[in-house]
Each structure stands twice: as structure tokens, then as C-alpha cells.
Amino acid sequence: MSEPVTFRAPIGTHDVLGPASAEWEGVIATFAQYAYRFGFELCVTPMFEDVGVFNRGIGEHSEVAKKEMYVFSDRGDRVYALRPEGTAPVVRAFIQHSPNVPWKAWYVTPAFRYERPQAGRYRQHHQLGVEALGTDDPAIDVEVIALASRFFGAIGLTKVRLLINSMGHDVCRSAYVELLRAHLGANVDGLCDEHRETWNENPLRVLDCKRDPCIEVTNRGPMLPEHVCDDCRAHFDAVRAGLTSIGIESTLNARLVRGFDYYTRTTFEFVADALPGAQNAIGGGGRYDKLAEQLGGKPTGGIGFGCGIERLLLAREAEDVEPGTLVKRTLDAFVIDTTGEDVATVLVDELRAAGFATDRAYDARSMKSQMKLADKSGARAAVLVGPQEHADGQITIRDLRSDDFEHAQQRVARGDVAKALTQLLTKS
Ligand code: HAM
């Protein structure tokens, strides 16, 4: 029986090892490529920030700030929070460094939320995202949404829908919230147990409630898109027309208010129909035209989105997208050396320098044992050197995918090993 494990990854977190990690690499590399194509540059910010960045940024009354943040004080009694999301830190960095606008930044980051763990919901998840600051041109909204949409396509997802809404700006939304408050106040008894208590604190949250009583009450009430001002409506119409002009379909969802307080105007979510309902949001985002001011900066419009890497991978699996297609992570060669000298050390160094993904065995194992390792490694070819070959200045190359035993193997001069390996690898 194996020893019991003393330490495990904390609840709601997970380790990522091969071969699954190759899927991670593929998704991240594809995102980096698309972000670059769309003119975004990488932005790296600390994993923790002054807790005020989040309390002011995402809103003290948001569920995440109230119940889910990992808050701690350091040895100097400063109060920090592990980042629960990527937007507020990027806007904090924007204010601190004043880059030229429009500033287009992308990121890949862990995010920490003390949630009830379940499939597709973790206490540490990982996000790929972008933020564009310094313009409120609807064209940038279209571009940010297009980047997400094209990226989902590039990683093989086909069953993805885009839901979109406008939250209006601070003035027209406040007027709407009062209308909604009045409607909820007149129908309190019809709300679900939770919102019968909390509706007044943040009426918009009731729109997001998935329980039938709240859906029924809010269905009879005022809806946001009908109450945004003319400017916000024109902005929203321009965003939707822009999306249509590049063939991106969007569905209006008047209930889409999202979980953070910073959103204004355009909000959107991408849902993967192959995933179960509760965890089918693979990405979401929107505009946050007041956030820079809330964090002490100059008025600066911004928009972005974040998508969960774990959920993207679950959606790929649920859609039966073939793994291993985004990046190649298989070995080209496995060196087998029975000379008892430094032959393998020199050979792997040479092959790696020539660009071949190469591995080898250690601990002076027998020929048979090294051959087994070569088979298990998934390498395309075994490169063998025994004492006789070494003395003759030769090397044996064996095609590990061939069943034709007689022709699977060839001897070549030591100096021709790279050429012979290239020939074998380009053979179908
Ligand atoms: P969010 O909707 O909270 O938005 O998260 C973005 C995405 O991260 C979600 O759509 C989901 O795929 C993934 N996600 C969130 N929480 C979890 C979790 N507990 N476990 C697994 N995956 C999760 C934001 O975070 C905003 N910062 C997005 C944004 C960028 N808005 C403007 N710019």
C-alpha cells in the first residue's frame, strides 16, 4: 500500500500536470497570439494589492468583496487582498504609470475567491483577459468582444453564445435603480427568501437571481435597456451594429448586470452551451467608465473581459475538441546510450541545439529498460548508441511508430544524425 499523502492542494485549488498542462500552454499561447494580433501588450501586476483597490474597484457591497476575498495583513500591518479579479489591478497600474492612451493590455493570472468549490468553480482559478483604457469609442467595445469571440473559435469552441446588455451610465442607471427599487418594494412578498431580506441594499442583484419567484417579479417590472438615456442607447446600438458588421451574433439579455459595481454601458457574457448551466459562463466583461476615478485617477473610459482557463478547457472537453492540437508537446527523439561514457550528454545537447525536443534515460540502465522508457516517452524516434556503434562513429535511429520491424531501424554516420532525424520526422 502506498503511504498516505501528508499535504494536499488546498480545497478548491488544483495542480496541473502533463499531459493536461499542454492544453493550458496551448490555450495561453493562442490567447497571447490573438491579443498581439489585436494590438494588446502584456501587463503583469502583483498577485496582491491594497484591499482598497478592490473595495473601491469592484464595490464593497459586491458578493465577492463581502464574502469571497482573501484579505490578510502583512508583518507591517498593511491590509492586502489576493486579487479576486484582474480589472481593478490593471486600472490601478494604469493610473500609477499613465501610459499613452488608448492603452491596450492583456494578462494571464490566477484569481482567488472563497467560493463553494464545485466542478468549474474554484477558490483559485485562472483568467486570461484584456483591458483597453482611454477611449469610449464603441469600436473598441466591438474589438474587445471580437477578440474574445475569435479566440474561442481558435481554440475549437463552436457552441458559444454572446449575451449582451447596456447598464447605462451612473446617472441613467441610478434613475432606473430607483424605479426597480419601487417595483421590488411593492412586491417584496413575491421575492425569494434571500432577496426578501436584501433587495433594498442592491436592487440590481435581484435581476441576476436565478430563482423563479424573483424572475417572476422582475419580469413584470422595469427593464434596464428601456431606461438608459439616449446617449447610452446610441452607444449600445453602435456596438451591436459593429458586431453585426463583422458577423458576430449577440443576444440582448436585459438581466445581465454582472457581479461587480464598476460596470457601465456595455456588459457581456459568453456562455458555452456544452457546459452545465450553473458554470457555463466561460467569459464576461464590459465597460467601466467610472473605475479610474474611483481609484483616484482622471476620468478615463475603459472596457475589457476575462475568461476562466479551467472553464475553457472544460468546454473544449465537453465539445470533444481533440486535445494536443494547439501546441505540439511530444518528443522528437529519445537517446539510448549503453556506452557507459558521456555520449548521451553530448548527443542530447547537440540534438536540442539543433531544435529537436529530446530526452534520455539516466542511472546507467540496461538497454531493455531504456528502450521501454523510450516507448513510454511518446518520442517519435529512438537514437541508439552502443559501444560498437560508438567505436564505428555510427548511430542507430529507430522509428518508434513503425510496425515494420525490418525497416524501422537505420544506421547512419554520427555526423548525419540530425539530417536522418529530420527525414524521419517529416515522413507522414
Ligand atoms: P468574472 O465574470 O467574475 O469577471 O470572471 C471572468 C470569468 O472567470 C468567468 O466568466 C469565468 O469563466 C471565470 N471564473 C470566475 N470565477 C470563477 C471561479 N470561481 N472558478 C472558475 N472560473 C471562474 C471578471 O473577473 C472581470 N474582471 C472581467 C472583466 C474584465 N470585466 C472587465 N474587464
pTM over 0.75: yes
Its sign, for the CA torsion 114, 294, 305, 81, is negative
Distance 127 CA to ligand 1 centre (A): 7
- What angle is formed at CA 111 by the lines to CA 110 and CA 115, rounded to 5 degrees? 135
- What angle is formed at CA 68 by the lines to CA 65 and CA 74, rounded to 5 degrees? 80
CATH class held by domain 333-425: alpha beta
Closest among 407, 354, 309 to 27, alpha carbons compared: 309
- In DSSP notation, 332-356 reads SEEEEE-SSSSHHHHHHHHHHHTT-
The C-alpha atoms of residue 231 and residue 172 are separated, in whole angstroms, by 10
Atom of ligand 1 minimally distant from the CA of 120: 21
pLDDT at 62 (0 to 100) = 84
* 308 touches ligand 1 (CB under 6 Å): yes
Query: For 139-165, what is the HEC assignment?
Result: HHHHHHHHHHHHHHHHCCCCCEEEEEE
* 85 touches ligand 1 (CB under 6 Å): yes
* 285 touches ligand 1 (CB under 6 Å): yes
Please, which residues have CB within 8 angstroms of residue 152's CB and are 6 or more apart in sequence?
160, 270, 282, 283, 312
The C-alpha atoms of residue 67 and residue 81 are separated, in whole angstroms, by 12
Q: What are phi and psi of 120, to 5 degrees?
A: 80, 5
Nearest CA to ligand 1 atom 9: 283
- Cβ burial of 190 (10 Å; 0-12, 13-18, 19+) is middle
* 87 touches ligand 1 (CB under 6 Å): yes
Distance 229 CA to ligand 1 centre (A): 28
pLDDT at 362 (0 to 100) = 95
Question: What letters, b where the CB count within 10 A reaches 16 and e where it falls short, cover 65-78?
Answer: beebbeeeeeeeee
C-alpha cell belonging to residue 214: 424573483
Q: Where are the domains of the chain?
A: 20-168+254-318, 333-425
* 122 touches ligand 1 (CB under 6 Å): yes
* 282 touches ligand 1 (CB under 6 Å): yes
Closest among 96, 114, 117, 75 to 279, alpha carbons compared: 117
Please, which residues have CB within 8 angstroms of residue 403's CB and are 6 or more apart in sequence?
none
Q: What are phi and psi of 122, to 5 degrees?
A: -130, 165
Q: Which residues of the chain have pLDDT under 70?
A: 1, 428
Detail the DSSP E strand segments found in 235-389: 251-252, 264-272, 281-287, 302-308, 333-337, 358-360, 381-385
* Sheet strands side by side (includes 394-399): 358-360, 333-337, 381-385, 394-399, 409-413
- Cβ burial of 8 (10 Å; 0-12, 13-18, 19+) is exposed
Distance 269 CA to ligand 1 centre (A): 10
What count of other Cβ atoms lies within 10 Å of the Cβ of residue 84? 21
- Count CA atoms closer than 13 A to 142's CA, side-chain side: 18
* 311 touches ligand 1 (CB under 6 Å): yes
* 280 touches ligand 1 (CB under 6 Å): no
Sequence length of the chain is 428
* 286 touches ligand 1 (CB under 6 Å): yes
* 306 touches ligand 1 (CB under 6 Å): yes
pLDDT digits (tens, 9 = 90+) for 194-229: 999 989 988 998 998 889 999 999 999 999 999 999
* 141 touches ligand 1 (CB under 6 Å): no
In DSSP terms, 306 is beta-bridged to 129, 284
333-425 and 20-168+254-318 share a CATH fold:
no
CATH class held by domain 20-168+254-318: alpha beta
pLDDT digits (tens, 9 = 90+) for 332-352: 999 999 998 899 999 999 999
Distance 277 CA to ligand 1 centre (A): 15
Helical axes 230-245 vs 138-154, angle rounded to 10°? 40
- Cβ burial of 164 (10 Å; 0-12, 13-18, 19+) is buried
226 three-class SS: helix
The C-alpha atoms of residue 34 and residue 24 are separated, in whole angstroms, by 15
* Sheet strands side by side (includes 264-272): 41-42, 103-112, 124-133, 302-308, 281-287, 264-272, 160-166, 251-252
Nearest CA to ligand 1 atom 25: 85
